[in-house]
Amino acid sequence: MDHKLELIVQSMQAEFGARVEEFRGETHIFVEAPRIVEALTALRDTHDFKLLSAMTAVDYWPQESPRFHVVYQLTSVTKNASIQARVAVGGEQPELPTASGVFASANWREREVFDMFGIRFAGHPDPRRILMPTDYEGHPLRKDHPLGYEEPQFTFNFDEIRLAKPSPKE
């Protein structure tokens, strides 16, 4: 582990009971879902991680339960260090408290995570989809979402696919 992070990790472990993992030189701190806003605030104010450089989610379905990890990648410009906070969420209606009060840039990123993974953020000021059309059904980056929608057209199924294909109305 980066020696700059050791004290920070120890303090996060003591304060939040956070589990720590390392992968290829990156430090991941796992925080319980109800305390994520508190943990992000502590990282921002106490430990000087003022920049939320990325926020996304990972779907580990069907290997892991709970299936999603929401990932907050934080950067400290003054310390030249980066750290990753992770929250595991699952269930039919995965939900987290919003971090948009801590980092203003989390607003659109949470909208993207909602759009792509269907994870809701309680208290979000504007919880709409951001990328997909508003009438889209489902969340496309979930692993159980169908990948594409059309079979490739070859000679043996040419007519079948041509008939099934939608065509424009004149």
Partner 1 sequence: MGVEQKLANMGVVTTTLESVINWSRTGSMWPMLFGLACCAIEMMSAQASSFDMSRFGMELMRPSPRQSDLMIVAGRVSKKMGPVLRRLYDQMPEPKWVIAMGDCASCGGVFNNYAIFQGVDEVVPVDVYVAGCPPRPEALIHGALTLHEKVRGTKLTAPAAK
> Any contact of residue 154 with partner 1 (CB under 8 A)?
no
CB of 8 to partner 1, least distance (A): 39
Strand 26-30 with 19-23, pairing: antiparallel
Per residue, the 3-state secondary structure of the chain, as one string, reads CCHHHHHHHHHHHHHHCCEEEEECCEEEEECCHHHHHHHHHHHHHCCCCCEEEEEEEEECCCCCCCCEEEEEEEEECCCCEEEEEEEEECCCCCEEECCCCCCCCHHHHHHHHHHHHCCEEECCCCCCCCCCCCCCCCCCCCCCCCCCCCCCCCCCCHHHHHHHCCCCCC
Choose between 25 and 166: whose C-beta lies nearer to partner 1.
166
How many residues bind partner 1 (CB under 8 A)? The answer is 18
Rounded CA-CA distance 68/89 in Å is 5
CB of 116 to partner 1, least distance (A): 11
113-152 positions binding partner 1, by CB under 8 A? 131-133, 136, 140, 145-150, 152
Choose between 8 and 113: whose C-beta lies nearer to partner 1.
113
CB of 170 to partner 1, least distance (A): 7
Choose between 128 and 165: whose C-beta lies nearer to partner 1.
165
> Any contact of residue 166 with partner 1 (CB under 8 A)?
yes
> Any contact of residue 25 with partner 1 (CB under 8 A)?
no
Contact positions vs partner 1 (CB under 8 A)? 131-133, 136, 140, 145-150, 152-153, 165-168, 170
